[in-house]
A and B are shown apart, each in its own frame.
Chain A
Amino acid sequence: MVYELGVKYLKVWQPNGFPSPINIAKTLEILLVDHTLGIAVLTSIMRLAIGYGISLVFGFLFALIMLRFKALQENLSPLLLGLQTLPNVCWVPLAVLWFGLRESTIIFVVVIGSTFAITLAVESGVKNVKSIYLRAAQTMGAKGLKTYQDVALPAALPEIINGMKQGWAFAWRGLISGEMLMQVKGLGEILIVGKEKADINQIMAIMVVIIVLGLMVNKLVFERVEANIRYRWGLD
């Protein structure tokens, strides 16, 4: 309705510059029927899952190493903050030079985008844990890694989840920009193909898919975990 009003009566939008929802739906259907969309979504999701999984492992690992060695912390934190401001796309040319046009290149771009967000969140989360929790744990015989596993990390979880969410958003961006620039199968590629065909419907259709997927993960994973934390801590 809003769309019809805008195009037909107010003439604020060009019909070929801003497609109707109906046309987008039609394009989606076509893409679905010839399986391009399904395959693209699956490949993209696979890459994302692998990349984000690696980010989680490295993100936590780096954070723990930094927490263990004070000197590293002081020197690396500013560097990581700086790296975080670098948009994901900037890594693509470098990645292509290093790895060539391969699957691992995309994964690299995803990983590099989200790892540092996670590292920084874990590090600052653990540093901000109330010392009373650590002291109490110490008097109850918690030592070394157990202190991290059973006290520091759970206590820092609210902050860590935020970092993981941020990392997830960065991973998505890295993935799409990587796929667009490198034109290897996936959602990003269909987007670029849409641009080359000047098919606005296809571009919008893919954008909708990306947004919906992002929202779904947010709803199904992060929001649930967050709700659980809020319930436990009594933050509501």
Chain B
Amino acid sequence: MSLILDGVGKRFITKHRVVHTLENVTLEINQGEFLCLLGPSGCGKSTLLNIAAGLEKPTTGKVYFKEKEITEAGPDRAVMFQEAALFPWLNVIDNVEFAMRMSGMPKKERKEKALQVLKMVHLTEFQDSFIHELSGGMRQRVALARALTMNADLLLMDEPFAALDSQSKNILQMELQQIWWDTKKTIIFVTHDVKEAVLLADRVIVMAANPGRIKKEIKVQLARPRCLESLDTVYVEAQIMRELKNEVEKVAKAEYDSDWDLEKDTILLGPDHYLGIGL
């Protein structure tokens, strides 16, 4: 068992109101598992990830990583934030070396390792560039490279590819699959994108909002490497989509105060509607 969340709850008390963000989330994540967190906006996915990272303290419940309770952030759990969170005052290779520098690794070793991971994300040519000179996709790759240098067994990723165009996204998804396969890290991956979840995950956790909690757990037992077009993938996708739909609708209704209706689109969501594929 790698990470254990035991009855985790979180409330934010602000000036205007109390936000009940998470309630009684209990989850066990195996060593080497690829877990995707899926849920409507505001259901507490980022909060949950931050708690696992140790950046945020749960109001109730406990979090254990490798049998030890998590009290603070540390380099044994690498985090990839939604924005790349790279340092603009350092160039690419210095950014990638940062974590190793903090751990006191000698310069030469650091550089070697940094080049090695930059190679994994195909960015060696840009090692001397500054962050503002990179595209959004390249920044996320640098952030991924930086996370990979940490030798952390657990990688926490908060919608890392959300802001990218579908081309770069596809490439990065494939790269991530490969890297996960090669390194056997435990990965918790937050996403809005059902396709992405099915493509990557061993297990998908669908969350519900207000308060944030686990609604359904779906195991994705498909052969790897997976591709988006295969029928099995589409089938699992539809299954998850149905779970998610109600939740998204609920949140949308609450947020937009209107008669929001997703029913119209369900023809695309049902498993028996392949729109002529079987002809």
Cβ-defined contact, A141 with B75, below 8 A: yes
Q: Taking CB as reference atom, which chain B residue is nearest A135?
A: B55
Point out the residues of chain A lying under 8 angstroms from B90, CB to CB. 154
Inter-subunit contact B77/A139 (CB<8 Å): yes
Beyond A132-B81, A132-B83, A234-B133, whether A139 also contacts B89 by CB under 8 A is no
Q: A136-B79, A141-B75, A151-B87 are in contact. Are A231 and B55 (CB under 8 A)?
A: no
Q: Name A's interface SS.
A: helix
**Binary B-proximity of A189-232 (CB < 8 A = 1, otherwise 0):** 00000000000000000000000000000000000000001011
A139-B79 Cα distance, complex, nearest whole Å: 7
Q: How far is the CB of A148 from the nearest CB of chain B, in Å?
A: 13
Asked if A89 is at the interface (CB within 8 A of a chain B CB), the reply is no
Interface code B55-72, partner A: CB below 8 Å = 1, 0 otherwise?
A: 100000000000000001
| A109–B88 CA distance with the chains assembled, in angstroms | 37
> Could you give, for residues 137-154 of chain A, a 1 whenever the CB lies within 8 Å of some chain B CB and a 0 otherwise?
111111100100011001
Q: Which of A133-184 contact B (CB under 8 A)?
A: 133, 135-143, 146, 150-151, 154-155, 157
Q: Once bound together, how far apart are the Cα atoms of A233 and B86, in whole Å?
A: 11
Q: Interface extent on B, as a size class?
A: 20 to 34
B87 near A139 (CB under 8 angstroms)?
A: no
CB closest residue in chain A, given B99: A140
A115-135: which residues lie under 8 A (CB-CB) from chain B?
132-133, 135
Contact A154 B55 (CB under 8 A): no
CA distance A154 to B94 in the complex (A): 13
Asked whether any CB of chain A lies closer than 8 Å to the CB of B73, the reply is yes
**A231–B130 contact, CB under 8 A?**
yes
Complex contact B130–A138 (CB within 8 A): no
Which residues of chain A have C-beta atoms less than 8 A from B251's C-beta? none
Chain A to chain B contacts (Cβ below 8 Å), 16 pairs: A132-B83, A136-B79, A139-B73, A139-B74, A139-B78, A139-B79, A140-B98, A141-B102, A142-B102, A154-B89, A155-B87, A155-B89, A231-B130, A232-B88, A232-B91, A234-B88
A-B interface, 4 closest residue pairs, ranked by CB to CB distance from nearest: A234-B132, A141-B75, A140-B99, A136-B85
Having A133-B87, A139-B75, A154-B87, one finds 15 other A-B pairs with CB under 8 Å, namely: A135-B55, A135-B73, A135-B85, A138-B72, A139-B73, A140-B78, A141-B103, A141-B150, A155-B87, A157-B89, A231-B130, A232-B88, A232-B91, A233-B89, A234-B132
